[in-house]
Every structure is written in structure tokens, then in C-alpha cells.
Chains A and B, each alone.
Chain A
Amino acid sequence: MEIFTPLNEKTIKTLKAGMWIEITGKIFGARDAAHKKFIELIKNGDKLPIDLKGTIIYYVGPTPTATNKIIGSCGPTTSHRMDIYTPVLLKNGLKGMIGKGKRTENIIKEIKKFKAVYFITFGGCGAYLSKFIKKSEIIAFPELGPEAVYSLDVHKFPVIVGIDSYGKDIYNKRP
């Protein structure tokens, strides 16, 4: 199933843990250091470099873009390190996250509370995933190098619903 960004409530409701989904539209790449900065900005009442309403954040730190390429290798990084920052972002309108691996119980609760969704994609498949990115641009914190914030135009970017808005977790039955 193909879905489009920004995410709305109607679309989110149709997403169930375990479904294979293709995302088309604009998403934002941000990982540890950028998340830390987002939270500081929110705390100080400052404007974020991205609009969180209905937004999907992809936990990614791509390799540098080679000549004549759109982006480098750009697979997901481990999501649980973002768990400490996620509740504040959800409260401010974030609707989707893409990463890899488990989230804490608390994050599952928050995802349910804010009717958001967590997607997983394929770790270690950064070359493959780069093929679904049609445009990429660093839009904030270039000084963070690989941890800068990216704006990414994606076409049918492949993900699996990891935690749905009903709080169902794909890893729940797993050890």
C-alpha cells in the first residue's frame, strides 16, 4: 500500500503493525544530535527548522553524496536512542518515525496516545534504500556533519509498520 506525506489521521488509522508500506512525499532525516537540538529549541520556545505537523522523521545519517548522485548510503539507525526525545516531538505534532529495532513501552504508549506510527525499514540496506530518494538537501545544523537535518523527497520508500496507532508492536511476540 502506498501512503503520502504529510500523514493524516485517516491514513494512520488504516496502518496496522506488520503491513508493508510505501511512502511517497517529503520526509525529514534526523538522528541523535539533531534530536537533542530539537528538544533544546522547543524548551527555549524557539522555532524548529522543520514543521512537525503530520511529519515523518527518518532516523538516518547518510554517507556523503558522491558526484552525480542524489544521496549516499542511507539506511536506518537504531531507534531506541531517540526514545528520550520522542515524546516531546509527538506532543508537538510529529506523526511518523522510521528507524530500526524496538522502542520502549513508554514510547508505545505515547504513539497510541498521539495517534502516530512507527515504521521500521531494512538495516544495512543503505545502498538499496538510496534508490527511493529522489531529492535530498541539508536544511539545518550542517555543522553536525552526518547528523545534520535532511529534507528528503521519497518515492515509494519501503517500510514495515512497527508500532501502529493502536499500540500494537510488531516485536511484541518476539523474544
Chain B
Amino acid sequence: MRKVSEDEIIKTIKLLVKQANFTLKKEIKKKIISAEKQEINSDSKKILKIIFKNLEIAQKEKIPICQDTGMVEVFLKIGNNVHINLKKYSSFQELIDEAITQAYTEFFLRKSIVSPIERKNTGTNTPSILWTEIVKGEKINIFLILKGFGSENVTRLKMFNPFSRTEEIDNFIIECVKKAGPNACPPFFIGIGIGGTSDKTVFLSKQALLNSGKTLKTEYFNWEEEIKRKVNKLNIGVCGLGGAITCFDVKIKSFPTHIAGLPVSVSISCWAHRMAEITI
């Protein structure tokens, strides 16, 4: 049994928060760079160059890429042979939230989390959203995403009939992107969840977003490319000013569902798709 201390978890989470706020993952950056080469709309091209400049300043001067430093979502795969030794904290959630509290203060990040009705700020950017899975082994894989609400606000779920055609699903996705329009900071990364239950499908769409930028030749590869092609015909472009690039990438994640239904969910990330991953 491998022992992991509270301190090690705190140190790791803080590192991921820092990485995600000041730099983009390589595969995300690559998508943006190749889009700039393809774009012909002059306004959109100009803004893509400003986006590069923004990334440069953020990294060099440690100014967050975006002022919406998000609600933190943490996806963990914990090996069954790992023993997380809780001493000072009464739960894993509490431990992770302590790390986030420290990181958001030390790195001068915006604390955007409030009570839902009273709108009272918690002052710590916590609680975070925690998803844990137990897997075989003695490692912990941690995937952290900063979800800004410009794009989170455009998430949608639809319960289709069992034999709905893929064109109907495509149309729903296109409608979601149109609705998100310039408000959610296009070009987008799009995650699509298909199957499961209503809650599961939204979760799947988030998991799909975590795969953004990766080259995965899944069974849905052609469908993902087809959706991307259709979305890029919308001419929304960077900041909604028109152009060839409305989305950088589409990823689908599926799960078996009930004979009576076909849930579909769409999660969108703005161009500043901030996430970080580590295995310890």
C-alpha cells in the first residue's frame, strides 16, 4: 500500500492550479496556432494574434490568461493501492479545497464562488467540484479544469427519442453553438455526451472536453469531424466577428443508455480552455 500525505496532495493541486491559470496545454495551443494559419477573416486573424500575445504575457508575467479564473473541477483516478492519509482534514473534498484556497490567494486569482441564492462570496474560490474514480494500481491521476462561466452558461441537455437520427442530434448541437454565439468566447472546444442518464450525459460531455486537442481515433472520429465541419460553416469566428474557425475541436464520449431514451449533452469551452494534468 502506497501512502500519500496531505501535503503531497496540496502541493500537487496547487501546481495544477498554477499551470492551468498561466499556460495552456500544448495540444490546445497547437489547435489555436493552426487555426490562425487557416483563418482568412482579417478581424478574426488579428484577434488570434492578440490571443497569442495574451498567452505570452500571461506566462511571462504571471498574469492569469483570463480574469474568470473559473470554478475548479477536479477529476481523479485513484489507485486502489493508494492510502491517502487524512490527518488534519476530515474529508478528501476538504483537503482539495484547502489546496485551492491556498493557490487562489497565493497566485492572486479571482475568487468567483458564491452561495447560489444569497450570492455571498465564499472568499476562497471553493468548494471545488470533485469527481473520483477508483482504479487498479498505486498511482493517482489528477485532471484539473478551470470552468469559466461565460461558456459554462451555455451548456445544454436534451433527451432524444431512442431512434432519433444523427442529423437531429447534429442540429441540436448546431443550435447550441449558435446560441452560445459570440457570448461564450469563440472559437470553441466542444464536448458531447451521448447516452447514460440525464446527469451522466452532462458528465460525459465534460469528460469529452478533457480530451480536447488530443488525437484519438475513437469510433466517433468521423462524426466528430462532421460536426466540426458543420459548426465551422456557421461563420461565427473569433469573438463572433466571422470567419472560418468557430470551433477548434469536437470530442464525443458515450455510454450505454436505456431502451426508452437517448440523452445528449453539449458542453462548451471558450478558446482559453484551461486545464492541467498530472499522474503521481
Task: List the interface of chain A (C-beta within 8 A of B).
Answer: 18, 33, 60-66, 69, 72-75, 77-80, 100-102, 120, 122-128, 130-131, 144-146, 158, 160, 170-171, 174-175
Contacts and interface: CB of A to CB of B under 8 A. Distances in A.
Given A125-B51, A127-B61, A66 B182 contact: no
B109 interface: yes
Given A63-B67, A171-B181, A174-B182, 15 more contacts: A18-B43, A60-B67, A62-B110, A72-B64, A73-B63, A100-B185, A101-B240, A123-B185, A125-B51, A125-B54, A127-B61, A127-B63, A127-B65, A128-B57, A146-B112
A78 B182 CA distance: 9
Contacts of A146: 110-112, 121
Given A73-B65, A73-B67, A124 B51 contact: yes
A175 B236 contact: yes
Contacts of B57: 127-128, 130-131
Contact of B182 (A18, A101, A127): A101
Given A80-B183, A122-B50, A64 B110 contact: yes
B53 interface: yes
B235 interface: yes
Interface string B100-121: 0000000011111000000101
Contacts of B153: 78
Contacts of B239: 100, 120, 122-123, 160
Interface of B: 43, 47, 50-51, 53-55, 57-58, 61-69, 108-112, 119, 121, 123, 150, 153, 178, 181-185, 234-236, 239-242, 270-272
Nearest to B148: A124
A18 B235 CA distance: 16
20 contacts: A63-B108, A72-B63, A73-B58, A73-B69, A74-B67, A101-B182, A101-B240, A102-B181, A102-B183, A123-B270, A124-B272, A126-B63, A127-B55, A127-B61, A146-B110, A146-B111, A174-B182, A174-B240, A174-B241, A175-B235
- Classify the interface of chain A: helix, strand, loop or mixed: loop
A83 to B, nearest CB: 11
A128 B54 contact: yes
Contacts of A61: 67-68, 110, 112
Contact of B123 (A102, A123, A145, A175): A145
B66 A73 contact: yes
A85 to B, nearest CB: 15
A131 B57 CA distance: 9
A63 B183 contact: no
Contacts of A175: 178, 181, 234-236
Contacts of B43: 18, 160
B110 A72 contact: yes
Contacts of A174: 181-182, 235-236, 240-242
A127 B65 CA distance: 6
Contact of B108 (A64, A120, A122): A64
Contacts of A72: 63-64, 67, 108, 110
B233 to A, nearest CB: 10
B34 to A, nearest CB: 18
Contacts of B108: 63-66, 72
B116 to A, nearest CB: 14
A174 B179 CA distance: 12
A171 to B, nearest CB: 6
Nearest to B109: A63
Contact of B68 (A33, A77, A145): A77
